[in-house]
Amino acid sequence: LLIFTDLDGTLLNSDDYGYDGAIRAIADLQQQQIPIIPVSSKTRAEVEVLSTEIGLTDSFIVENGSAIFIPPHQDYLFSEEMKIAGKYYFRQRGCVYAQVRDGLRDLSAAIGEDLTGFGDLNIADIMQLTGLSEPEAQRAKNREFTEPFITPHHVDPERLAHQVKALGFNVVVGDRFSHLIGDQAGKGGAVQWLVNRYQQVNRGESITTIGLGNSPNDLAMLEVVDIPIIIPGIKGVHPGLTNQGWKVAPFPGSVGWGVAVAEEVKGLSY
């Protein structure tokens, strides 16, 4: 069993980024040696610090599936297509930050609307928009592969997506922002790649996967796992995730995460 989880609004509460409600379930999963793999819009810098804080030690997927990082103790997952970054092995699937920054400028020109990305914002702006602390905002701005930008609400999302595709990128919608990502990125493909690695090292033995998410950028991940679970927001399931017929956790944020995972995995309390 592998657990793939989004962070903001899923394992972490939307309002305070806390994870209290999931602590028991996480401890129980760890006791059963079930990997918990973050799959986030967040940067490597952010996920590294959060994983350490929460006590997660497995591989992780950053910036909407742009890269998969494998820690040294999981070197059995290494494959020839991977490179080394610091102490990690990593597999890049997206483009690099300079490309999405150029992409955002071209997109602004194409739709005739000035789009504001993290690269245009200072730390104080990011803190104000997200509620992150100063060091957290610094790590959020430390981007390697994707550009979050303020969703232009008066631009038709289909028109925006069409222009993005024409420029050779993809756009996904997260908790608070839209994200310009490489056309090979996306959470679904990254999860599938890592599941394949696990399957290869387990000699084809079948592996059950659970995925948890709350926003449209999680759709691709939820589609490729065996057991998709939606974490609702305070106002209910995100409109972009309704009508899927998937399990919906009974509560928002970390509490919903803990309860829903305990319902699926035998021997778990919450």
Residues that bind ligand 2M8 (CB under 6 A): 8, 41-43, 46, 130, 132, 140, 148, 174-177, 215
Residue 141 Cα distances to 134, 145, 233, angstroms = 11, 11, 25
Geometric angle at alpha carbon 97, from 117 and 112, rounded to 5°:
40
Among residues 101 and 176, whose Cβ is nearest to ligand 2M8? 176
Cα first-last separation, the chain:
18
Among residues 6, 28, 58, 218, the one annotated as catalytic is 6
What stretches of 202-256 adopt beta strand conformation (E)?
A: 209-213, 227-230, 247-248
Q: Is 6 a catalytic residue?
A: yes
Q: Are strands 169-173 and 178-182 parallel, antiparallel or unpaired?
A: antiparallel
Cβ-closest position to ligand 2M8: 174
Q: How far is the CB of 138 from ligand 2M8 (least distance, A)?
A: 11
Cα torsion 62, 63, 67, 71 to 10°: value is -20
Q: How far is the CB of 30 from ligand 2M8 (least distance, A)?
A: 24
Q: How far is the CB of 111 from ligand 2M8 (least distance, A)?
A: 19
Geometric angle at alpha carbon 24, from 23 and 29, rounded to 5°:
100
Q: How far is the CB of 173 from ligand 2M8 (least distance, A)?
A: 8
Return the active site residues. 6
